[in-house]
Chain A
Amino acid sequence: MPPLAQRNLMHDKVRLTVTLTGIVFAVVLIVVELGLFVGFTVTTSGIIDQSKVDLWIVSKGTPYIEQGSAFSERKLYQVLATPGVAHADKYIVRFSNWKTPQGAEDGIQIVGFNPYTGVGGPWNVVEGKVEDLKTPDAVMVDEIYKKKLGVTKVGETFEINRRRARVVGFTRGIRAFTTTPYVFTSFKNAQAYTGIAEDQTYFILVRALPGTDRAALQHELESRLRDVDVLTTRKFSSMTRIYWMFTTGAGVAVLIAALLGLVVGVVVVAQTIYATTMDHIREYGTLKAMGAPNSYIYRVIITQAGMSAVAGYVLAMFVSVFIVHASQSGGAAILLPWQMAVGIFFLTLLMCVSAAVVSINKVTSLDPAMVFRG
């Protein structure tokens, strides 16, 4: 087929620019909203996902990580005595209060872990070392929250729950969905900072011996321990994500915004493709008069829509990658995993081809006798 679709598309540069702008706008909007959704989702369960353990033991009925309740640390020894367990650590995640020397206060989430094993500890450490957290009153925060917490450098001291806290290092990119920054410290310090009894813990993180049947181990632990749930890391992560993204409605709002981006894209692209079709309506009438079946003309219109989609997508990805990169230093990470990029490509194609349906309807009803009307 001669390149009618390509030529029609390229013929009117202004209209092409409007079409591509519409697509780019829609795609970037979708990337940002879906990227935020993915970013938020990953953030809500970041602590769990990065723990790299097999099982989490939580108090009975705990719906998500921030909602844990304290239970006796004696269960740790029962866990350690269970066949197939390679390692187990007490763990705390609990809200507390941060106070600057100037008296400013802010909410934080204390993450107390075993600094000797590092399990459940900070990752992406850019200043200081995890081992530095072995010392009393040592804490580590993320550089994103430096301003929020009033921290400028390592060595500064603050108050957590009226106890001294000394910053010994910084991480990069460990965000908290609730906007209350994570503050990593040793389990012992965390007990003091959160005010829980010395014989209590909030979670127990379990690593299985290599080759152990994890489902069997989970079942065994469930039968040995009372008043707790034994959850796989994946399950607990999923529960936490579902709670924050859907039970609270936060994720739904983001998804609706993404859907709106899609609708805006379809409308803008439909309008411009329709206008392009109307510009060439006499040519389509001529094609029909010459004997072209409707499918031939649909192919021209759909090819135009497809080409617009590809060009718009490529341009949008340049903009999106820039935005995604820029967001990494902000409070809310926009993530663009490759699976999402591929998905959005097909979504863009679908959006543009759907937008062409209005034009196709117009051409279907076109009377070829129009070519004889002056």
Chain B
Amino acid sequence: MQAAISVRDVTKVYVEGANKIQVLHGVDFDVEQGEVVLLMGPSGSGKTTLLSIMGCILRATSGSVQIAGQEVAKLSERELPEIRLQHIGFVFQGFNLFPTLTVGENIELALDLKRIRGERAKQEARKLLDQVELAAKYDSFPADLSGGQKQRVAIARALAGSPRVILADEPTAALDSQSGRNVMEMMRDLARKHGRGVVVVTHDSRVLEFGDRIVHMEDGRIAEPETEASGRKGMAEVVSMGLLSTNSAEHALRIC
């Protein structure tokens, strides 16, 4: 089966004056359809840069990036927005809903970008909100929703136009644990039921159980696949630092 995202030997170098800062060093990375991949690592490890390259927001300095089988690394800046529109849905840490639009209009705006307009857009928006169990909030404004509800609206918006890939940046960081679980359950359902590739950048240990795979990044590289023993040793260190609960760490190790 074709990978939703395929990243091969990708590097990213930022040039600031005479200085060159390499933030990604030959990254190889695949996301299959129907899979939830958690992208973890310390700040500055290159997670967000990799997410931006996979989301066609940034261009890789070298290497290959395929989205749904289409090579995008060589596309121009002008061509990238169309790839984002066609294939990628984003979920952001801060929800990034449009506060002056109603919930329904937020979804309709995303559909409008994909040239789905009028009554068809309204029907599609209701359907998407129904999927995230917020159909009753169609005419509400984001300010009237809880954090969890806002993130579910953001997920519905990301689904507008049926993209093959969902990229989520810290989607649970601003949510309480129950809301975070609900959001991650939805992410997992998206992947499983609709065959979408889902990548979640997260520091949140509470979401580990919802990932099919955890990819750890460090210093711009994907960390070597861990053996169970070394994995347990590593997780133990994380747990001892108070960053992960014991249950989450156990789950993480099971799926490594």
- Chain A residues in 8 Å Cβ range of B26: none
Indicate if the CB atoms of B82 and A7 lie closer than 8 Å: no
CB distance from B98 to the nearest CB of A (A): 5
A104 at the interface (CB under 8 A from B): no
Mark B37-60 against chain A: 1 for CB-CB distance below 8 A, else 0. 000000000001001100101100
CB distance from B121 to the nearest CB of A (A): 9
Mark B164-200 against chain A: 1 for CB-CB distance below 8 A, else 0. 0000010000000000000000000000000000000
CB distance from B196 to the nearest CB of A (A): 16
B90 at the interface (CB under 8 A from A): yes
B140-179 interface (Cβ within 8 A of A) = 169
- Chain B residues in 8 Å Cβ range of A1: 109, 112, 117
- With A372-B92, A372-B169 known to touch, is A289 a contact of B55 (CB < 8 Å)? yes
Nearest chain-A residue to B157 (Cβ)? A290
* Residue among A4, A8, A296 with max Cβ neighbours from chain B (10 Å): A4
Indicate if the CB atoms of B52 and A4 lie closer than 8 Å: no
Indicate if the CB atoms of B93 and A374 lie closer than 8 Å: yes
CB distance from A6 to the nearest CB of B (A): 9
Indicate if the CB atoms of A2 and B101 lie closer than 8 Å: yes
A371 at the interface (CB under 8 A from B): yes
CA distance A131 to B48 in the complex (A): 92
CB distance from B149 to the nearest CB of A (A): 18
Contact of B100 among A8, A287, A371, A374 (CB under 8 A): A8
A249 at the interface (CB under 8 A from B): no
Indicate if the CB atoms of B98 and A291 lie closer than 8 Å: no
A216 at the interface (CB under 8 A from B): no
Indicate if the CB atoms of B96 and A282 lie closer than 8 Å: yes
Mark A277-293 against chain B: 1 for CB-CB distance below 8 A, else 0. 00000110011111111
CB distance from B88 to the nearest CB of A (A): 8
CA distance A288 to B57 in the complex (A): 9
Nearest chain-A residue to B86 (Cβ)? A291
- Chain B residues in 8 Å Cβ range of A3: 101, 105
* Residue among A282, A289, A292 with max Cβ neighbours from chain B (10 Å): A289
B83-120 interface (Cβ within 8 A of A) = 83-86, 88, 90, 92-94, 96, 98-101, 105-106, 108-110, 112-113, 117
Indicate if the CB atoms of B90 and A371 lie closer than 8 Å: yes
- With A2-B105, A372-B52, A372-B169 known to touch, is A292 a contact of B113 (CB < 8 Å)? yes
- With A2-B109, A369-B57, A369-B58 known to touch, is A291 a contact of B82 (CB < 8 Å)? yes
- Chain A residues in 8 Å Cβ range of B90: 289-290, 371
Indicate if the CB atoms of A11 and B100 lie closer than 8 Å: yes
Nearest chain-A residue to B201 (Cβ)? A372
CA distance A31 to B15 in the complex (A): 53
B234 at the interface (CB under 8 A from A): no
CB distance from B122 to the nearest CB of A (A): 10
CA distance A293 to B112 in the complex (A): 12
- Chain A residues in 8 Å Cβ range of B109: 1-2, 4, 287
- Chain A residues in 8 Å Cβ range of B108: 2
CA distance A7 to B101 in the complex (A): 7
Mark A9-28 against chain B: 1 for CB-CB distance below 8 A, else 0. 01100000000000000000
B81 at the interface (CB under 8 A from A): yes
Indicate if the CB atoms of A7 and B84 lie closer than 8 Å: no
Indicate if the CB atoms of A286 and B96 lie closer than 8 Å: yes
- Chain A residues in 8 Å Cβ range of B82: 291
Chain A contact-residue range equals 20 to 34
- Chain B residues in 8 Å Cβ range of A46: none
Nearest chain-B residue to A2 (Cβ)? B105
CA distance A369 to B99 in the complex (A): 20
CB distance from B238 to the nearest CB of A (A): 23
Nearest chain-B residue to A368 (Cβ)? B57
- Chain A residues in 8 Å Cβ range of B48: 372
- Chain B residues in 8 Å Cβ range of A368: 57
CA distance A291 to B169 in the complex (A): 17
Nearest chain-B residue to A293 (Cβ)? B81
- With A2-B112, A291-B82 known to touch, is A286 a contact of B101 (CB < 8 Å)? no
CA distance A291 to B100 in the complex (A): 20
* Residue among A2, A8, A291 with max Cβ neighbours from chain B (10 Å): A291
CA distance A213 to B88 in the complex (A): 77
Mark A141-183 against chain B: 1 for CB-CB distance below 8 A, else 0. 0000000000000000000000000000000000000000000
- Chain B residues in 8 Å Cβ range of A11: 99-100
Indicate if the CB atoms of B113 and A290 lie closer than 8 Å: yes
Indicate if the CB atoms of A283 and B96 lie closer than 8 Å: yes
CB distance from A285 to the nearest CB of B (A): 8
- Chain A residues in 8 Å Cβ range of B113: 287, 290-292, 296
- With A4-B98, A374-B93 known to touch, is A291 a contact of B85 (CB < 8 Å)? yes
* Residue among A3, A288, A369 with max Cβ neighbours from chain B (10 Å): A369
CB distance from B93 to the nearest CB of A (A): 7
CA distance A292 to B112 in the complex (A): 10
Indicate if the CB atoms of A292 and B81 lie closer than 8 Å: yes
- Chain B residues in 8 Å Cβ range of A288: 81
Indicate if the CB atoms of A291 and B93 lie closer than 8 Å: no
- Chain A residues in 8 Å Cβ range of B101: 2-4, 7
- 12 CB contacts below 8 A, A to B, read A1-B109, A2-B105, A2-B109, A3-B101, A4-B109, A10-B100, A11-B99, A286-B92, A287-B113, A291-B81, A369-B58, A372-B51
Q: Which residues of A contact B (CB under 8 A)?
A: 1-4, 7-8, 10-11, 282-283, 286-293, 296, 368-369, 371-372, 374
| A-B interface, 10 closest residue pairs, ranked by CB to CB distance from nearest | A291-B85, A7-B100, A291-B84, A2-B105, A286-B96, A291-B81, A11-B100, A2-B109, A372-B48, A2-B108
Q: Beyond A290-B90, A369-B52: 6 further Cβ-contacts under 8 Å?
A: A1-B117, A4-B100, A4-B109, A283-B98, A289-B55, A371-B92
